[in-house]
Structure 1
Amino acid sequence: MTAHAPSAAHTPIVSKWDDAVAASLSEPELLLYRSNLLGSDLRVTNFGGGNTSAKVRMKDYLTGQEVDVLWVKGSGGDLGSIKLDGFSTLYMDKLQALKGRYRGRAHEDEMVDYLPHCTYNLNPRAASIDTPLHAYIPKAHVDHMHPDAIIAIAACADSRRLTEVIFGGQLGWLPWQRPGYDLGLKLEALATSQPNLKGIILEGHGLFTWGETAKGCYETTLEMIRLAEQWLAENVKQPVFGGVKTTTLPADQRAALAARLMPALRGRISASERKLGDFNDSPAVLEFVASHDLAKLAALGTSCPDHFLRTKIRPLVLDFDPAKPDVDALLAGLDAALEAYRADYTAYYERCKRANSPAIRDANPVIYLIPGVGMLSFAKDKATARIAGEFYINAINVMRGANGVDTYVGLPEQEAFDIEYWLLEEAKLQRMPKPKSLAGRVALVTGGAGGIGQAVARQLLQEGACVMLTDIDAGALAEAKANLLKVAGKDNIDAVQGDITSEAAVEAVIEATSLRFGGLDILVSNAGIASAAPLEDTTLEIWNRNQNILVTGYFLVSRAAFRLMKQQKIGGSMVFVASKNGLVASAGASAYCTAKAAEIHLARCVALEGAAIGVRVNVVNPDAVIRGSRIWDGKWKEERAASNKIEADNIEEFYRQRSMLKLSVLPEDIAEAVYFLASDKSGKSTGNVLNVDAGNAAAFTR
């Protein structure tokens, strides 16, 4: 969870500019350096928000003459991680020539279609809607940021006067206007008429600053933010958010409640597409959700366009009293609360829609506020859900700052709608790539530290799922997670140590999965051991160990997952990784073979009950998966070699030659089979067994 403390509690923003680093950089590289520094601090701008530019003298590739080229952050991307190829490049003379094409505000959106005609050096990076805002400010270097402290001032009822008071004429001020070509012309006019300005505050939106050098621009940006933070901290006139109204539950109770609530919510809002969730109980959130003004401020909505494009104009505040924490009543009231929110959102759409507005989008909330508990956010993927929550924390910080010194003002409803349903935003949404096959799905993989477990997790991650790994070996689990972070990143993979033979441990793993991602769609039961011994040498300890892990463990995990999937009411898929030995007995391995047979039959039983709630259960039967296998690293390899009267070093070749296809079976082969059974590709299959053994006639199921 991301921690956001109130602005006043932060240490002052300091310059990170390194002259030694900057000395060797070209002008475009200085722009990149500046951008990365600005984007590295969420107090300066939020993820994906803000943009930077530089006007650079460069050689025209056709004429060979020196020309002015605008380098500006392109559409999409994030300043903290942007590379040089994330900037659009445009001829300044052509951008100036666009003024002759402008037909007024009623037609300003058409100006976006002219921007590609201004492209320098055939740069494929699309120019953003903010390009004219940078182009027409008559300064070499321009920053446009969304600092919470500045937006707090910009969102005050008395914003214009406060701008003058706080900055003493260093910053100009413009009233709210949707970003676009006309706003670029207004920025130009103000900056030209008052050449001593260091920047401009846009009402309800953010900050523009500039300079003659990259370093000067960067340090001016930080200076203005520091001034705002300091003034807000020194001039608070009233209790934060009206003071404390409710108690805050202890951390463990907050987490337990969120883990129970998230799957119930997720099931109710995933009719059109699966949603993933994020829980945040950082200090800033807890302060807000415990306050007297929670309902009143939440209803006002957000101000900055970057905020509500991620969060919708307002959140859903759930009816919950932490002094009398009745979770059952909270769950029972979800349907009515969601229906009321959807009706309100639909009414907002109907009031504000225009003749050419896109169709209404998903009317469910994105942000959910629970008094005394924290904030939930849901979106189509985990990163978007997390970032939406972070944006709402930006909105909380803005409301704190504005209400502390004046009166917070949200964006007018019609203006908010015109941003949310802007045809240019709709076009951007339509250009988004098609979701991967497991997008929005949450998978739990037991035995996740092993070769098969990691291969399965990698396959599911590559297909767009979020994956929780669990394993009894904490060290190996941490290593597996580190390996998989390189595949999918921190938002999509996590791990929790657990012993599947313990009922309490299994419940903790399921709770951790719900809390991390919002629920569960795919269970891959893969935890395993192997043992071999003649019947007379098979001890009760060996027998019970096989039964505990391969039968009881699979029962406990499938039961817990079944209960969660039933609560969500959106179906699901379970895949048991069993063994060829569940179908074909092997001499000298009675404990293992019996347990694997029971595992397969358990899957069939669960499939019978799961069908009624849309939960499919299938089995993958591997055979002799030796490479990357932790099972084959130990005594099992020696035992099977002895049983087959061969050298241990020859075991893989022995099994390859024994197969009908004369092929080795790899962890990746099992992963492909698991993916098929977990995905919609096998949407009409349940209770089935898929052998991945390179061919073994004795294991034929029919």
Structure 2
Amino acid sequence: MTNPAAAELIGRSNRLGSDPKNTNYAGGNTSAKGLERDPVTGEDVELLWVKGSGGDLGTLKEQGLAVLRLDRLRALKGVYRGIEHEDEMVAAFDHTLFGKGGATPSIDTAMHGLVDAAHVDHLHPDSGISIATAADGEALTATIFGGRVAWVDWRRPGFQLGLDIAAIKESTPDAIGVILGGHGITAWGDTSDEAEANSLWIIDTAAAYIAEHGTAEPFGPALDGYAALPEAERRAKAAALAPSIRGLASTDRVQVGSFTDAEVVLDFLASSEHPRLGALGTSCPDHFLRTKVKPLILDLPATATVEESIARLKELHEAYRADYAAYYDRHATADSPAMRGADPAIVLIPGVGMFSYGATAQTARVAGEFYINAINVMRGAEALSTYAPIEESEKFRIEYWALEEAKLQRLPKPASHATRIALVTGAASGIGKAIATRLAAEGACVVIADLDLEKAVAAAAELGSTDVAIGVQANVTSAVEIQAAVDAALLAFGGLDLIVNNAGLSLSKSLLDTTDADWDLQHNVMAKGSFMVSRAAARVLIDQGLGGDIVYISSKNSVFAGPNNIAYSATKADQAHQVRLLAAELGEFGVRVNGINPDGVVRGSGIFAGGWGAKRAAVYGVPEEDLGAYYAQRTLLKREVLPENVANAVAVLTGDDLSHTTGLHIPVDAGVAAAFLR
């Protein structure tokens, strides 16, 4: 049963963390102190429950809390050797855990344990950080809060910061919290409700003061030519720029992207002060750990062409990498971790919006959200004063902190398709859905394209959030809809790596019964449709410069002559030869093109459910419900082929183990000797 103090803490955390005005995603931490029976002694012991490392307040659950004995935590003051030995205190937390201890304690644990209050909140609100990063933040704190909130000069999170705040709490009994220079806020209370109320009072009071006393144009006047483009135009330009920008941002390691054209970003980029402020970088550690110390900003107006923008971005990217390497060299010591990469995490395009990058779609999206937090912070600080983030050397100490490096080293090994962005056509059911499901399970971001938008969206939702999959409508006989689906992938995930031409249909008719319309329909969907999808995707893959995969779901019928399916088999043979042709043409760009030849996939198949199964069953003289078993018995392995078997082949073909394979057709037919490739 959850301790009442811990239960109150979880409720308070969820309320505070669910409102972005209070703190950023996974930012800040909260705590509660209370009594628990020690199962060894049978006596009550005072414990600290505190949000563990890496958790998110808005979604915090009991398993996300670290649980420590307060007497042992406070006893660490006796062994603390000073700020030069901060890191060893984090390891010391392990010796203060109660029982198994729950989640891993964060670096801020000392702040919560040493402050003499039953409930403590440490948050990263935009309004509070605006005061924390103002050049005269200390004076503003006194003016705005009237002595109820104290000021603490910037100090890297750790044991000493906990001691500093504890001393303020002890010496200033009327204080309800502090502004942490360059960082955020901390508030406390004797009850959970009081701590929450005090946190919100600080946040809301700061926001109200900025609104009432801030200048009207904190970012300066508008720049000519930098205003936001009309929505359709800017999103089209974003999609056109996305492949090249992702290629640049993935120079050191492949990244997933996210795009936003939020008004706050467009307004910032339209202002005269955005180059100066962007160059200053972010301040709150949570911000710059995800956004890097500063963004790459295109210094061309919104009216610049795509070609002009890409050419300039390549120049700016080269300069950015050199500048980041110089930043590393200025501050690195013999003990510093190796440089993790010199590519930007945030790329800002005036008139268009912001691209953000990370190892996953979620981290990419969150990086962008953090930079929006940073823009809000800059606005507040400039409205009242001058934005003055922490020193570059301090940013480096955080970014290349040994503790941060250890956290990165503890991350699990990426899945086989991590960072890969897949577009699967005809993916709302059957083979396509199985492929999308398998690729998502292997870590890919998936765009489920289907003729039926409602089913596509539903299939995507089954795979998880929009950080995992999105559903889009795409009639593969329409070049316009194909391009829209590709653009949707670019704007959702920043790029495209893996295309599966799966959309198809079949009409089981003899030669004499096959009409011109029957022939055209099947060729338009599968032969021409695959060609148009591959063409649109190839443009992206070439511009990205990261290689990629195109997979055709062809058929055993592409090499085997069966009765009463002239149009279907002919178009499948067309698809099979497209594999060979495109493998030869796209190899120089690192793009692999391979095919899969399934047979007899009855269960879960949209084609068979749409009447094809009944007609094929009639051809072979078996009941429709026995068609899968019939197909199985005619194979060498006597096994029924399922959609998941085809999905397995796609996963293998597009994984690293077959990195040197292109132009291949893999039979997934349980062994049909007449369809052996010769």
Pairing 1:370-409 to 2, within 5 Å after superposition: 370-409=349-388
| Structure-1 residue corresponding to 2:197 | 219
| Structure-2 residue corresponding to 1:526 | 502
Looking at structure 1, the residues matched to 538 and 638 of structure 2 have their Cα atoms a distance apart, in angstroms, of 38
Pairing 1:614-625 to 2, within 5 Å after superposition: 614-625=590-601
Superposed displacement of residue 25, structure 1:
7.8
Deviation digits for residues 364-392 of structure 1, max 9, x if unmatched?
A: 11111111111111112111111001001
| Structure-2 residue corresponding to 1:514 | 490
Tell me if the contact between 2:227 and 2:267 (Cα under 8 Å) persists in the aligned partners.
Answer: no
- Structure 1 counterpart of 2:180, which letter? L
Pairing 1:542-561 to 2, within 5 Å after superposition: 542-561=518-537
Looking at structure 2, the residues matched to 120 and 646 of structure 1 have their Cα atoms a distance apart, in angstroms, of 67
Superposed displacement of residue 196, structure 1:
1.5
Pairing 1:529-678 to 2, within 5 Å after superposition: 529-678=505-654
Superposed displacement of residue 257, structure 1:
1.1
Deviation digits for residues 18-64 of structure 1, max 9, x if unmatched?
A: xxxxxx98211111111111110111000010000001111112111
Tell me if the contact between 1:273 and 1:440 (Cα under 8 Å) persists in the aligned partners.
Answer: no
1:106 aligned residue (74, 84, 99): 84
Q: Secondary structure at the match of 2:98?
A: coil
Deviation digits for residues 534-560 of structure 1, max 9, x if unmatched?
A: 111111111111111110001101111
Deviation digits for residues 520-540 of structure 1, max 9, x if unmatched?
A: 111111000011111111111
Superposed displacement of residue 124, structure 1:
4.3
Q: Quick check: 1:134 aligned with 2:112? A: yes
Tell me if the contact between 1:61 and 1:121 (Cα under 8 Å) persists in the aligned partners.
Answer: no
Superposed displacement of residue 473, structure 1:
1.6
TM-score by length of 2: 0.98
| Structure-2 residue corresponding to 1:427 | 406
Superposed displacement of residue 307, structure 1:
0.7
Q: Quick check: 1:304 aligned with 2:284? A: yes
Q: Quick check: 1:87 aligned with 2:65? A: yes
Tell me if the contact between 2:270 and 2:351 (Cα under 8 Å) persists in the aligned partners.
Answer: yes
Bigger shift: 272-281 or 144-153? 272-281
TM-score by length of 1: 0.95
Tell me if the contact between 1:142 and 1:208 (Cα under 8 Å) persists in the aligned partners.
Answer: yes
Looking at structure 1, the residues matched to 142 and 299 of structure 2 have their Cα atoms a distance apart, in angstroms, of 41
- Structure 1 counterpart of 2:202, which letter? M
Q: How many percent identity over aligned positions?
A: 48
1:686 aligned residue (638, 662, 672): 662
Q: Secondary structure at the match of 1:200?
A: strand
4+ residue stretches of structure 1 with deviation over 4 A?
A: none
| Structure-2 residue corresponding to 1:70 | 48
Tell me if the contact between 1:301 and 1:411 (Cα under 8 Å) persists in the aligned partners.
Answer: no
- Structure 2 counterpart of 1:196, which letter? D
Superposed displacement of residue 562, structure 1:
1.4
Deviation digits for residues 162-181 of structure 1, max 9, x if unmatched?
A: 11111111111110100011
Looking at structure 2, the residues matched to 442 and 258 of structure 1 have their Cα atoms a distance apart, in angstroms, of 17
| Structure-2 residue corresponding to 1:163 | 141
Looking at structure 1, the residues matched to 462 and 160 of structure 2 have their Cα atoms a distance apart, in angstroms, of 49
Q: Quick check: 1:457 aligned with 2:433? A: no
Tell me if the contact between 2:461 and 2:469 (Cα under 8 Å) persists in the aligned partners.
Answer: no
- Structure 2 counterpart of 1:104, which letter? G
- Structure 2 counterpart of 1:421, which letter? Y
| Structure-2 residue corresponding to 1:230 | 208
How many pairs are equivalent?
Answer: 675
Deviation digits for residues 488-533 of structure 1, max 9, x if unmatched?
A: x321201210111112221221122112111111111100001111
Bigger shift: 615-624 or 264-273? 264-273
Looking at structure 2, the residues matched to 327 and 575 of structure 1 have their Cα atoms a distance apart, in angstroms, of 29
Tell me if the contact between 1:442 and 1:522 (Cα under 8 Å) persists in the aligned partners.
Answer: yes
| Structure-2 residue corresponding to 1:7 | none
Looking at structure 2, the residues matched to 34 and 213 of structure 1 have their Cα atoms a distance apart, in angstroms, of 11
Superposed displacement of residue 241, structure 1:
0.3
Structure 2 unaligned blocks of 5 or more? none
Tell me if the contact between 2:461 and 2:470 (Cα under 8 Å) persists in the aligned partners.
Answer: no
Superposed displacement of residue 668, structure 1:
0.6
Bigger shift: 351-360 or 401-410? 351-360
Deviation digits for residues 599-653 of structure 1, max 9, x if unmatched?
A: 1011111011111111111111111111111111122111101111222222122
Superposed displacement of residue 444, structure 1:
0.6
| Structure-2 residue corresponding to 1:330 | 309
| Structure-1 residue corresponding to 2:184 | 206
1:472 aligned residue (451, 465, 470): 451
Deviation digits for residues 403-456 of structure 1, max 9, x if unmatched?
A: 011111011111111111111111111111111111111111011112111110
Deviation digits for residues 96-116 of structure 1, max 9, x if unmatched?
A: 111111111111211111110
- Structure 1 counterpart of 2:598, which letter? P
Root-mean-square deviation (CA), in Å? 1.2
Deviation digits for residues 297-323 of structure 1, max 9, x if unmatched?
A: 11111111111111011111112212x
- Structure 1 counterpart of 2:480, which letter? A
Tell me if the contact between 2:498 and 2:550 (Cα under 8 Å) persists in the aligned partners.
Answer: yes
Structure 1 unaligned blocks of 5 or more? 1-23
- Structure 2 counterpart of 1:411, which letter? I
Superposed displacement of residue 272, structure 1:
3.2
